[in-house]
A = this chain, B = another copy of it.
Amino acid sequence: MQPVDYIICGDYILTMNEKMDLIRDGAVAVKDTKIVDTDISENIFKKYSSEKIIEGKNRAVLPGLINTHTHAAMVYFRGLADDLPLTEWLEKHIWPAENRWLSPDFVYDATELACLEMLKGGVTTYNDMYFFGDSAAAAAKKIGMRAVLGVGILDFPTASAKTTDEYFENAERFLKNWKGDELITPCIAPHAVYTCSPETLMRSKIMAEKFDLPLHIHLSETEWEVGEIMVRYRRRPVEHLEAIGFLNEGVLAAHCIWLEDNEIELLAKRKVNVSHCMESNLKLASGFAPVVTMLMAGIKVTFGTDGAASNNDLNIMSEMATTAKVHKTLANNPTVLDSKTALTMATRWGAEALGLGGSIGSIEKDKMADLITIDLRKPHLQPIYDIYSQIVYSAMASDVETVMVNGKLIINAGRLVTGDEDEILQKAAEWGGKIATYNSVR
């Protein structure tokens, strides 16, 4: 009997490996930071012993969900300005709020709230694009969440930097600070083709290659962006990135709504990964991304929530359900984007899109122990005929009961183990009060 740190049981273990193995009455053995084994319970208990056994009756065990595009600290602007035209939302509300409030403290506190929300909803890894990366990294690390943190790069000044050079200096300092960290992966995040010159984009790419890091960019989010790039460069956004030599499999492109067929082919050919942000796109009326066409072209489409200011939550369970449903109607075909595909996009493909496919995204021996359990003993989750369907179409973020990241228990019975939930909520309410007061007088 080999001693392990945890044995996590479940009526269903959804491994989400390539073969999509589903283990009934299964268990996962975890030692240190890693998954040691997974099999039917009987076999696991013959081989391993542990003092910490997480009961599996009426539970499903899944790899942690992955949010491939967010601006986590924007949770503090959740609901600040809704149901408005995009330009008014951005120019009159979000940008002024960011200019007034962004600071290392703001980002630390807000990131804590964002991580808490995501973890409670079963997200174990998120890919961020924002500012003050050291604060974001410190907050994620303290709570114990895995994060790919992209320090935003733009050609105009913000609260975090005044010049393009300063952005790159910030980025380089950040990635030197964090490269090799067990939870934090730094990333280079040139904001978009309309906010970064070709030189800035390629300087980002060279830095990413030098340090072997992913690139994270917004791409073809709005029809306006396409028109703007057409005017500036006489080609569409994806064509532009192809022309300057930016595209490769290290690129994660968020949104990808306004694409022509030849652009989809280019993304597929260059093995670019896509973060689909359905709920944010819908709420801002940005458009419907051609997800089914991208999937058919072989592009790895994954789920992002975008920031909570345009979603208004960081809920991957809900993104799965909404995306799987909406694209059926768009394709006029209820068989597309089935529940297994949706769950693969939220787990294994999410990991692969972030360059972390070797270490997370499925329940397999030697992968890092990023695991969640779902409590199936709920009225909206009974009876059960197909566990994939039940999780994608019926489960809510609040059905997540246990969350483990890197072998460490972070959420137990729905409550945060690694911090004080009430304190995080209290800080959020205090910041919200300050922001609301300022907004009402400005």
What is the interface of chain A, defined by CB distance below 8 A to chain B? Answer: 75-76, 78-86, 89, 113, 116-117, 120-121, 279, 281-288, 308, 311-315, 318, 321-322, 324-326, 328-329, 331-335, 338-339, 377-380, 382-386, 389-390, 393-394, 396-399, 421, 424-425, 428-429, 431-433, 435-436, 439
CB distance B117 to A390 under 8 Å? no
Q: Which residues of B lie under 8 Å from residue A326 when comparing CB positions?
A: 282, 326
Instruction: Across the interface, name the chain B residue whose C-beta is closest to A422.
Output: B377
Known: A83-B334, A384-B429. 16 other contacts (CB 8 A): A76-B383, A82-B338, A83-B335, A83-B338, A83-B339, A84-B335, A86-B334, A312-B389, A313-B394, A322-B322, A322-B325, A382-B425, A382-B432, A383-B428, A383-B432, A383-B435
Instruction: Across the interface, name the chain B residue whose C-beta is closest to A83.
Output: B338
A287-B328 Cα distance, complex, nearest whole Å: 9
Quickly give the copy total for this chain. Answer: 2
Whether A382 contacts B121 in the complex (CB less than 8 A), given A284-B334, A285-B328, A335-B85, comes out as no
Give the residue of B282, B383, B390 whose beta carbon is less than 8 angstroms from that of A431: B383
CB distance B329 to A287 under 8 Å? yes
Whether A120 contacts B383 in the complex (CB less than 8 A), given A329-B281, A329-B286, A396-B396, comes out as no
A283-B390 Cα distance, complex, nearest whole Å: 14
A382-B429 Cα distance, complex, nearest whole Å: 6
CB distance B331 to A285 under 8 Å? yes
CB distance A433 to B383 under 8 Å? yes
Give the residue of B76, B325, B385, B433 whose beta carbon is less than 8 angstroms from that of A436: B385
Give the residue of B333, B377, B425 whose beta carbon is less than 8 angstroms from that of A377: B425
Q: Which residues of B lie under 8 Å from residue A424 when comparing CB positions?
A: 379
CB distance B379 to A282 under 8 Å? no
CB distance B394 to A78 under 8 Å? yes
Q: Which residues of B lie under 8 Å from residue A324 when comparing CB positions?
A: 283
Whether A328 contacts B385 in the complex (CB less than 8 A), given A78-B394, A83-B339, A89-B334, comes out as no
CB distance B389 to A79 under 8 Å? yes
